[in-house]
Amino acid sequence: MIKRLLPSPLLSLLILILWPMLTQSLALSDWLLAVILAILVPLFTNSLRPTPVRIRKPWLFARLILLINYDILVSNLKVARLILSPRANDQTSRFVRIPLDVRDPNALAVLSIALCLTPGTAWAELALDRSALLMHVLELGEDEVDDFVAMIKRRYERPLMEIFE
C-alpha cells in the first residue's frame, strides 16, 4: 500500500523539503501543499521514469553532487572572465565526441543534468545506442580535447557507474 502511494520516496522527500524553500514560506498552507505535491507528483510521473532509481553508493552520490556544484561555480567564473575579457571574440568553441561506457538511463540523466548546468558546455546529442555523446564546449583548444574527454570520464562517468550500475 505504501509503495503504491509513494512510488518514489526519495522524490517525495525532496519535494517536501524543497517546496517550502521555493515558496519561502513556512505557513501551514504551504506545508499542506508540499505534502500534496510530494504524493501526487511521483504518482503522475511514475510512467516517465524508465527504470527504478537504485543508488548503490549514497555517500559517493553526495560527493559527486558537491563536485558538480564546485565545477558549476568554477565554470561560472571562467565564463564570466571569458565574456568580460577584451579577447572574447578569439575563443575557440567546438563540438567534442565523448565515448560512453555508462548505460544506466538514470546515470545518463544525471550526467546530462551535470553537463547542461555547467556554463560553457551543452549536451548536443546522444547516440542511439548510447555509446557516445556529442557536447559543445565554449572554450576548448584542439590540443585540449583528449584531456577534456578524460576529465569527463574520470570526474563524472566513472562515479556515476559506481553509483547506478
Number of Cβ within a 10 Å radius of residue 91: 14
> Is the pLDDT at 28 greater than 90, yes or no?
yes
Q: Could you tell me the pLDDT band of residue 89, with boundaries at 50, 70 and 90?
A: low
Angstrom CA distances, 138 to 94, 135, 148, stand at 7, 10, 12
Mean pLDDT of 45-64: 87
Q: What is the DSSP letter of 39?
A: H
Per-residue cell: 97: 565526441
> Is the pLDDT at 10 greater than 90, yes or no?
no
Task: Give the model's pLDDT for residue 75.
Answer: 94
Report the percent of the chain where pLDDT is more than 90.
68
> Is the pLDDT at 100 greater than 90, yes or no?
yes
The residue ranges of DSSP E strands in the chain, in sequence order, are 94-99, 121-126, 132-137
Under 8 Å between Cβ of 99 and 152: no
Least confident of 10-14, 21-25, 89-93, 148-152: 89-93
Under 8 Å between Cβ of 122 and 114: no
Per-residue cell: 10: 526519495
